Amino acid sequence: MTSVSNSKTIKPNTLKAVPPGDPRDRGGALQPLLLVENLRKHFPIKGGIFNRRVASVKAVDDVSFEVLKGETLGVVGESGCGKSTLARLLMNLIDRDEGALVFDGDQVGDQGGISLRQLRRNMQMVFQDSSSSLNPRLPIMDSVAYGPQVHGTPSKVAQQTARELLEKVGLSPDLFASRYPHELSGGQKQRVNIARALALDPRLLILDEAVSALDKSVEAQVLNLLRYLKTHLSLTYLFISHDLHVVQYISDRVLVMYLGEIVEIGPVDDIYSTPKHPYTQALLASQLSMDPAERVTEAPLSGDPPNPVDPPSGCRFHTRCPFAETVCSQNTPSLGKRNDPQRHSVACHMHEPGSGHSRTQSPPVYVPSHGAATPKNERRLQGAL
């Protein structure tokens, strides 16, 4: 087993930057690279004598958002909220029940739009488990070269491309090209996965918990590598993670999911400084502080998420929300019109004028040093001020 220290350090002149005016751009600078409209995926639960559909797991339910060109959109939420299912739907690894995908102005799968094969050339994915993502019977250079070969690139050209990509991600091809996955460390395997994802010269990378299995020193190396590649190869990222600190470090905008729906989306600075949705506030309050005077003495959010087979009516968070009122269980809140992608949008009745919620004029304020916004913490904050 080779240690991480054997990985080659990336030099500034290793990568050649993409020149201004990306020739792959079809829709123009203002056209979102990926437009997701009303995406839905319900997994059937079958039972009974005839094995018929008796219920459905509502994994992703009416999700709409945009990924802008050149940005990193972070996606956060509890386990089971639909983040990984969303990533697989975008990659068309599983079929969507409803909804549309538009890539740079061309609808995916429609006549006159972009085909699935073309989409795969433009959009690639890096999975969480770096070990199971690689074929244990293939040397890593063959794994990286496999994608271009499938798309018609001659074998020798694909092999040369693989060597160049290994060099780009900091692995010397002379040292690592002939090695098998079991001979690499976790960080080196993830670098190979990134190189493989770049082999088709994509424009959008979906990173599903790509650094969660790495130790902190290797995680920092991979994150810096991702930022460097994004700048020099004109990439766009959809970054899925549980680590809120990592999401804040790498993202331009943040999308928050809860039980298959989007509850808040906006610029990273707005989300982290002034989160509006009680669920987002609880997520941020769960971050541990390095200051011993700011210990977390009680959980910012209690209870488990509801069953996605039978989610609550109205706002799906109302069963755990300290500010829930009758309107929350009766009406489903909306994110509002998406006329400005940089707008800070929230699906909460407290921020929806005329919703009937008593807190529309005075929604709870999140103060990081005082934990999640709850009635108890609001009273404590008023006393402190």
Contact 256, 265 (CB under 8 A): yes
pLDDT at 12 exceeding the cut of 50: no
Question: How many Å apart are CA 239 and CA 219, to the nearest integer?
Answer: 14
CATH (residue range 11-251)? 3.40.50.300
Q: What is the model's pLDDT at position 381?
A: 39
Mean pLDDT computed over every residue of the chain:
86
Question: How many Å apart are CA 222 and CA 187, to the nearest integer?
Answer: 7
Q: What is the model's pLDDT at position 18?
A: 57
> Which tens digit of pLDDT belongs to each residue from 173-190?
999 999 999 999 888 998
Q: What is the model's pLDDT at position 303?
A: 75
DSSP letters along 295-343, please? Answer: ---S-SS-SPPPPTTSPPSSSTTTTT-TT--HHHHHS-------S-TTS
pLDDT at 370 exceeding the cut of 60: no
> Which tens digit of pLDDT belongs to each residue from 209-226?
888 878 888 888 889 989
Structural domain spans, the chain = 11-251, 269-384
> Which tens digit of pLDDT belongs to each residue from 105-146?
899 988 888 999 999 999 999 988 888 889 999 999 999 999
Strands (E), the chain: 34-47, 52-67, 72-76, 98-103, 106-107, 123-126, 204-208, 236-240, 253-258, 261-267, 345-346
pLDDT at 282 exceeding the cut of 60: yes
Percent of the chain with pLDDT over 70: 90
